Amino acid sequence: MAKRIKADICVIGAGSGGLSVAAGAAQMGARTVLIERDAMGGDCLNTGCVPSKALLAAAKQAYGMGAGEPFGIAPAKAQVDFGKVQDHVHSVIAAIAPNDSVARFEALGVTVIKDHGRFRDASTVIAGNAEITARRFVVATGSRAAVPPIPGLDKVPFYTNENLFENRDCPSHLIIVGGGPIGMEMAQAHCRLGARVTVLEGQRAFTRDDPELSAIVIDRLRRDGVEILEGVKVLSVSGEAGKISVTIEDKDETRTIEGSHILIATGRRANVEGLDLEKAGIEYDARGLKLDDRLRTTNKRVFGVGDVAGGLQFTHVAGYHAGIVIRNALFRVPARADHSAVPWVTFTDPELAHVGETEASARDRNMKINVLRWHLGENDRAQAERQTEGVIKVITDTHARVLGATIVGPHAGELILPWVLAKSQALKLSAMASVIAPYPTLSEISKRVAGSYYTPTLFSPKTRMLVRFLGLFG
């Protein structure tokens, strides 16, 4: 006999978006069911954001041991135990896991079902021996690594983010296919931990980011020792464990790169298979669910959040989606998602952070824009810490409203937040220029770059004439 459960809201997928919806709904008094067939916490906790940042932190520590000379500290070669580095990575996961656990969510009043969920019809989901009917459903099944159809790849062992953090031996030569954020983060991390690394990118590295500022990160990685080949085509892969051959086409020349391991970092693919979405009248394509601006599917009782929504694939976007869905599903408020001010960060050293429009995208719209820059070399805190490699770049319209901002430098991910606020609230630069920034901090660069917009007017000949004129009156 099937166990019949009636709920106000049923969530399929216990990643960031699904957990946020379930926790919020349950605490607001809604009868909530959460279905997850794999690990609680989803990709972000187990194979994505958390382990990758933990690995990067270990790599930064190793790098720092050899970078003390400018401070008068003799450099020392780091002795890396790669197995213990992975122990550190998994201990970080373990420390965060209780926040996403079955026990915590059951304590909140959520009915958690550890099984595969699928739609039986437009108003029913089956999970194991449970049959769930609900007023509203949320599909939050996330995404997985997209594996390109490279000839021979299916015949050799390869890494994606889903198994990379299980490796306990440092690769002697890691070949990474893909020069996006995941590929470049893992390139720098493995290089600093002792691996030789080659990155193969079909276009340019950091395709989505401002090329002027991303070039600073690319240059740093190359100085670290990462080989980055842009504009190359991967023709085939062959070999066996510990001996991988990748044949590429590079500037009309065909050649082969030999490595010990290969990591595929060529993007993500939405998890829509096995849900029987057709039975619920839910349309989707290769990118994910087809949603309206209220995040509703073609079955208006079913919402989509996070990576499966088919847009920007970030944990913070999934969390944002959760708030939109709760307002729509529980309070019947017609809240609409706005992705125009979504920030993203690549956690290399230096970090690369962005929100809003780039210079290129603004010019593509034939807009009259202002481009402002302020270099970290002009920041006292950056000088004190010998971290002057970086710049903030801000794009505004002719009315000084912020269109976008990109920061490259230490802690860029932390420094981008006021520009997210400025973009989302359509603030003018005067708001940023007039704040009092603590000294000495890196955050002063935001005030400085905003103030630079007004410098030509403030120190113009007309202003000097006005000051002299007013001086005549005592």
d(CA 395, CA 362): 8
Provide φ and ψ at 250, rounded to 5°. Answer: -130, 110
Give the pLDDT confidence of 115-170 residue by residue, as tens digits: 999 999 999 999 999 999 999 999 999 999 999 999 999 999 999 999 999 999 99
Locate the domains of the chain by residue range: 3-144+269-329, 153-267, 350-458
413 belongs to an annotated ligand binding site: no
CB 330 within 8 A of CB 21: no
List the structure tokens of 260.
């010990």
d(CA 294, CA 283): 15
Place of tokens 């019947």: 332
What value does the mean pLDDT take over residues 287-303? 97
465 belongs to an annotated ligand binding site: no
Provide φ and ψ at 376, rounded to 5°. Answer: -65, -25
Q: Are both 3-144+269-329 and 153-267 of the same fold?
A: yes
Q: CA 221: distance to chain centroid? A: 19
Percent of the chain with pLDDT over 90: 96
d(CA 451, CA 435): 10
d(CA 242, CA 460): 66
423 belongs to an annotated ligand binding site: no
Residue 285's pLDDT band, with cuts at 50, 70 and 90, is very high
Per DSSP, the residues of 33-101 read EEE-SS-TTHHHHHTSHHHHHHHHHHHHHHHHTT--GGGT---------HHHHHHHHHHHHHHHGGGG-
What is the length of the chain? 474
**pLDDT number for residue 1:** 63
What value does the mean pLDDT take over residues 102-120? 98
182 belongs to an annotated ligand binding site: yes
53 belongs to an annotated ligand binding site: yes
185 belongs to an annotated ligand binding site: yes
Nearest to 183 by CA among 214, 152, 139: 214
CB 418 within 8 A of CB 436: no
**pLDDT number for residue 226:** 98
DSSP one-letter code for 2: P
Residue 458's pLDDT band, with cuts at 50, 70 and 90, is confident
Query: Which CATH number is associated with domain 350-458?
Result: 3.30.390.30
pTM attached to this predicted model:
0.96
432 belongs to an annotated ligand binding site: no
What value does the mean pLDDT take over residues 358-387? 95
Superfamily of domain 3-144+269-329: FAD/NAD(P)-binding domain (3.50.50.60)
Residue 367 reports pLDDT greater than 90: no
Q: Which CATH architecture has domain 153-267?
A: 3-Layer(bba) Sandwich (3.50)
169 belongs to an annotated ligand binding site: no
Burial of 282 (0-12, 13-18, 19+ CB in 10 A): buried
Give the pLDDT confidence of 160-198 residue by residue, as tens digits: 999 999 999 999 999 999 999 999 999 999 999 999 999
What value does the mean pLDDT take over residues 21-47? 97
Q: CA 356: distance to chain centroid? A: 14
List the structure tokens of 136.
């509203």
273 belongs to an annotated ligand binding site: no
181 belongs to an annotated ligand binding site: yes
179 belongs to an annotated ligand binding site: yes
d(CA 474, CA 34): 74
Buried b (16+ CB within 10 A) or exposed e, 220-233: bbeebebbbbbebe
307 belongs to an annotated ligand binding site: yes
d(CA 87, CA 160): 19
**pLDDT number for residue 451:** 97
**pLDDT number for residue 286:** 87
**pLDDT number for residue 2:** 78
Give the pLDDT confidence of 206-216 residue by residue, as tens digits: 999 999 999 99
Residue 331 reports pLDDT greater than 70: yes
Give the pLDDT confidence of 236-250 residue by residue, as tens digits: 999 999 999 999 999
